[in-house]
Structure 1
Amino acid sequence: MSTTTPRTPTTPSPAPNIVLIFMDDMGYGDLSCTGSSLIRTPRMDSVAEQGITFTQMYSAAPTCTPSRAALLTGRYAQRVGLPRVIFPEEPEGLSHEEVTFAEMLGQQGYACGAFGKWHLGARREHSPLRHGFDRFVGLPYSNDMHPVVLHVDDEVEEDVDQSTLTRRYTDEAMDFIDEHREGPFLVYLPHTMPHIPLHVEEGFRGTSAAGTYGDVIECLDHHVGRLLDHLEDRGLAENTLVMITSDNGPWFEGSTGGLRGRKIDTYEGGIRMPFLARWPARIDAGSVCTTPACFIDLMPTLATLTGADCPEDRPLDGVDITDCLLGGEVPERPLFFFSHWHLNAVRRGRWKLHVDRFPTKDLRELPQLFDLEADPGENYNLASLYPQVLDELHRCVEDFGAEISAQQGQAEQRARA
């Protein structure tokens, strides 16, 4: 639910420009506005102050590749065939058969640029340029994988100073905005940081009370501010939807805000993300949405906001959450959380059921049923108290798991044919 009344504009707003800032391994509690007392993030906080905070936004996966695959396609990564992290030497990548939100928006006349980490395949056919983006400057995979190279469209730079990447991505995004300021445009800005190894530009080293990790977040915040100021200076802020989030929970450092688990886990700390959005033309300042939502929802939502058409020849898992953005709610539906091909957990309404913990092999105390409204830290298993809820969610897991398994089997048959 939201704490504000939905805004009803007197005249329709034109389709917004879209800026999606996507951090790498930033935790739910790493921003001042989400509870950090050690890290200063005034510019990201300003997006919350001037827009909306989603308190229960989920990644569709607790690791890099499947999270991004789901974000871009509106489909669980298991449908897309990218259920795990892929490495530079591997042939896997985002299939040409998938439709990304960039391809969808391109049909509406949007110029689409990607600036940052891709991690959906390192081969030429997997490039953002083959998936609806007109411009790409960034790393093809995580910064702890080798070789570390920077792609500038189809060219490759091998001498990469990672301490300059946050600034460079932001500069490239601002240049793209200037080039397409007559709009509409989509800027997808998936930063390399704060994924390890941590790198930060000189002016931010040693400035945070949270060590190098805090330095990195405060550097990111500074460059978010530069981008926000750029939109303001160009007269574009009013009708630009800016969204800020992260791909999955924190890894070795960073705060989950007290939630259980971290990156790789399908407990809340691995999948519940900070999510801030600002669109002055439509979103009321200081709004808060407590409705559970997921990255898979962005594609159908962007379709509604821009008048685009989602692909109808395949199952989409996301739902349109425009009403949530504008102060309303969407109907309750289940959200599923996988690790690799394992369906670990499902959330529906206040309840979350864990049936597996892959990649760990410790299955003690399963199934675990948590009331996330009363116990967001997932501390107390209520399976013995609510057998009917347990049975209903078990059936939900079984039915959806069977659907995904059937699709996987069909894909394997086609591959062998």
Structure 2
Amino acid sequence: MKLLSLLAALPLSVLSAEKPNIVLIYADDIGFGDVSINGATAVRTPAIDRIAKEGINFTAGYCTSATCTPSRFSMLTGKYAFRQQGTGILPGDAALIIDPAQPNLPATLKKGGYRTGVVGKWHLGLGPKGGPDWNGTIKPSPNEIGFDFSHIMAATGDRVPCVYVEDGKVVNLDPADPIEVSYGKPIDGEKTGVTHRSELTMDWSHGHNNAIVNGIGRIGHMKGGAKALWRDEDMADHFTGQAVRFIRESKEQPFFLYFALHDIHVPRVPHPRFVGKTTMGPRGDAIVQTDWQVGEILKVLDELKLAENTLILFSSDNGPVLDDGYKDDAVTKLGDHKPAGPFRGGKYSSFEGGTRVCTMLRWPARVKPGKTSAALVSQTDFPKTFAAIAGVEAGFPDSLDQSAALLGESETGRDHVIQQAGRLSIRMGDWKFIPGGKGERKNQKTGTELGNEAAGQLFDLSKDPGETKNLAKEHPEKVEELKKKLAAVR
């Protein structure tokens, strides 16, 4: 009876399809306005645009947080990160924060007959409490929460350890040169971005001055593992190669690939063949590199004749940021480019630019091409929605089945989205409410407007997408309505 109820609730287009392959390409720090289909002219993104043109471009797609770790947590677990302590931006030696005993997206799809893989940036912790053993077998890892294959970086490109980990083992690690990691005191004999700043190939603007790897200062201290260290310039090629490998090895059965790009997170060190492709310096060139990675996935799907029944979704973990710790000309060479598009704020911000991100979906077998949708969609709903599309019954704390909206069969979507930055905000319909409270208005290091005001802020996004006119005093009844809804969700 439960299965019949599940089937009855699905859109007809889902019921009539074979289980699709699902490819989730998750960029890092890409803003709504960083792609050409959303208005960018200083950079061209033909592969990303292709997904939108051959499917749906969502203009109201949201990640759950204005920073990376909580967005990734919510997207994979279907649970708002604010419900669990320790889900803020993690250090590189943090323990795994996803409980293997709780429902999550990869485990659910695996139960439904999918081969599951993750490639790229992880940043959800590894190992038990106290952190991972870099020189042994790392458990728990993505493999313990439902991924059959994992080839990842532990955290971010600007955090140590600067090594790849495949299925719980550091790649190319020489046992005679063990890895030592510290997020406290410096390691004896270690060069840092402070003591040896003149040796850096990319200087730091704030933070990012601990261990030096590949001529770049990082967050955290590291020693050893010389043969295992990545080369930043080759990272996009490396991860894309692993993603293509997974697709080729999985082509005989339904598969789910979570391809978490490092680009365009700092340090931005695109491969030499992309350097100079834009006038915006490394940040702009990294966007071109991002688009190339998307194109390689589309290419292999075409080659293997898998494109027709593959659902591919492109999005980002949060909004854009320019100076996020390195002197890479992101600010000085920006020109007229608007990374967040028409929206205010960016990474770290409660304004729309912090969480309103690129969201494009293509599934040729079931989704009509060339559609633009204003449906309100949240990444929190990916687990329940993908489970429904795959025909797997599953429950998640905050995830809703939004398959009708994501497949272009409904313009409604969610009735509200929760946005997490320094505080929780809510959008319901066209109205957006940011509660009042303490906090600086602007991040002085990154230059990001944070949306912090002592009094609450109310915006009508249908008339004011840039959140320039606070209507809280004119509409106190709307403020109270959104306050109550936000309190109910908490």
Q: TM-score scaled to structure 1, two decimals?
A: 0.89
Deviation at 1:391, TM superposition (A): 1.1
1:51 aligns with 2:70: no
Secondary structure in 2 aligned to 1:187? Answer: strand
| Equivalent in the alignment of 2:393 | 309
| Equivalent in the alignment of 1:261 | 345
Question: What is the CA–CA distance in structure 2 between the aligned matches of 1:103 and 1:80, rounded to whole Å?
Answer: 20
For 1:345-365, what per-residue CA distance to the aligned partner results, in whole angstroms no more than 9, with x for missing partners? 111101010004676379545
Deviation at 1:210, TM superposition (A): 2.3
Deviation at 1:297, TM superposition (A): 1.0
1:381 aligns with 2:444: no
Secondary structure in 1 aligned to 2:357? Answer: strand
Equivalent pair of 1:70/1:296 in contact (CA under 8 Å): yes
1:16 aligns with 2:86: no
| Equivalent in the alignment of 1:251 | 321
Corresponding residue pairs, total: 390
Question: What is the CA–CA distance in structure 2 between the aligned matches of 1:263 and 1:81, rounded to whole Å?
Answer: 21
Deviation at 1:367, TM superposition (A): 0.7
Deviation at 1:114, TM superposition (A): 0.4
Deviation at 1:80, TM superposition (A): 4.0
Question: What is the CA–CA distance in structure 2 between the aligned matches of 1:100 and 1:367, rounded to whole Å?
Answer: 35
Deviation at 1:24, TM superposition (A): 0.7
Deviation at 1:229, TM superposition (A): 1.2
| Equivalent in the alignment of 1:79 | 83
Describe how 1:159-238 pairs up with structure 2 within 5 A.
Answer: 159-238=229-308
Bigger Rg over Cα: 2
Question: What is the CA–CA distance in structure 1 between the aligned matches of 2:261 and 2:63, rounded to whole Å?
Answer: 16
Secondary structure in 1 aligned to 2:60? Answer: strand
Q: Which moved more, 1:168-177 or 1:240-249?
A: 168-177
Secondary structure in 2 aligned to 1:238? Answer: helix
Compared CA separation, residues 174 and 358, structure 1 to 2 (3 A): farther
Q: CA RMSD in A?
A: 2.0
For 1:158-217, what per-residue CA distance to the aligned partner results, in whole angstroms no more than 9, with x for missing partners? 320121111121111111111110120011000111101101112111111222111111
| Equivalent in the alignment of 1:370 | 459
Equivalent pair of 2:76/2:105 in contact (CA under 8 Å): yes
1:288 to 356, 364, 372: 372
Secondary structure in 1 aligned to 2:314? Answer: strand
Question: What is the CA–CA distance in structure 1 between the aligned matches of 2:483 and 2:284, rounded to whole Å?
Answer: 41
Question: What is the CA–CA distance in structure 1 between the aligned matches of 2:369 and 2:401, rounded to whole Å?
Answer: 21
One-letter code of the match for 1:273? V
Equivalent pair of 1:205/1:212 in contact (CA under 8 Å): yes
1:132 to 131, 139, 146: 146
2:420 to 325, 338, 350: 338
Question: What is the CA–CA distance in structure 2 between the aligned matches of 1:359 and 1:16, rounded to whole Å?
Answer: 45
Describe how 1:60-99 pairs up with structure 2 within 5 A.
Answer: 60-91=64-95, 93-99=97-103
For 1:327-359, what per-residue CA distance to the aligned partner results, in whole angstroms no more than 9, with x for missing partners? 21346522222236x42x111101010004676
Question: What is the CA–CA distance in structure 2 between the aligned matches of 1:201 and 1:222, rounded to whole Å?
Answer: 11
Compared CA separation, residues 142 and 331, structure 1 to 2 (3 A): closer
1:156 to 135, 160, 170: 170
One-letter code of the match for 2:58? F
Question: What is the CA–CA distance in structure 2 between the aligned matches of 1:331 and 1:96, rounded to whole Å?
Answer: 29
Equivalent pair of 1:93/1:121 in contact (CA under 8 Å): yes
Equivalent pair of 1:86/1:92 in contact (CA under 8 Å): no
1:348 aligns with 2:428: yes
Question: What is the CA–CA distance in structure 2 between the aligned matches of 1:363 and 1:194, rounded to whole Å?
Answer: 26
One-letter code of the match for 1:333? D
2:488 to 393, 399, 406: 399
Q: Which moved more, 1:373-382 or 1:7-16?
A: 7-16
Secondary structure in 2 aligned to 1:273? Answer: coil
One-letter code of the match for 2:313? M
Secondary structure in 2 aligned to 1:116? Answer: strand
For 1:355-408, what per-residue CA distance to the aligned partner results, in whole angstroms no more than 9, with x for missing partners? 04676379545210000111111110111121211111111223333xxxxxxx
Compared CA separation, residues 395 and 228, structure 1 to 2 (3 A): same
Secondary structure in 2 aligned to 1:138? Answer: strand
Question: What is the CA–CA distance in structure 2 between the aligned matches of 1:148 and 1:96, rounded to whole Å?
Answer: 25
Question: What is the CA–CA distance in structure 1 between the aligned matches of 2:43 and 2:247, rounded to whole Å?
Answer: 29
Secondary structure in 1 aligned to 2:33? Answer: coil
Compared CA separation, residues 239 and 255, structure 1 to 2 (3 A): same
Deviation at 1:90, TM superposition (A): 3.6
Secondary structure in 2 aligned to 1:164? Answer: helix
Compared CA separation, residues 135 and 11, structure 1 to 2 (3 A): closer
Question: What is the CA–CA distance in structure 2 between the aligned matches of 1:358 and 1:141, rounded to whole Å?
Answer: 30
Deviation at 1:126, TM superposition (A): 4.3
Secondary structure in 2 aligned to 1:259? Answer: coil
Compared CA separation, residues 380 and 18, structure 1 to 2 (3 A): same
Deviation at 1:131, TM superposition (A): 1.1
Compared CA separation, residues 269 and 126, structure 1 to 2 (3 A): farther
Deviation at 1:9, TM superposition (A): 5.0
Question: What is the CA–CA distance in structure 1 between the aligned matches of 2:427 and 2:267, rounded to whole Å?
Answer: 33
1:323 aligns with 2:404: yes
Equivalent pair of 2:419/2:426 in contact (CA under 8 Å): yes
Equivalent pair of 1:263/1:269 in contact (CA under 8 Å): yes
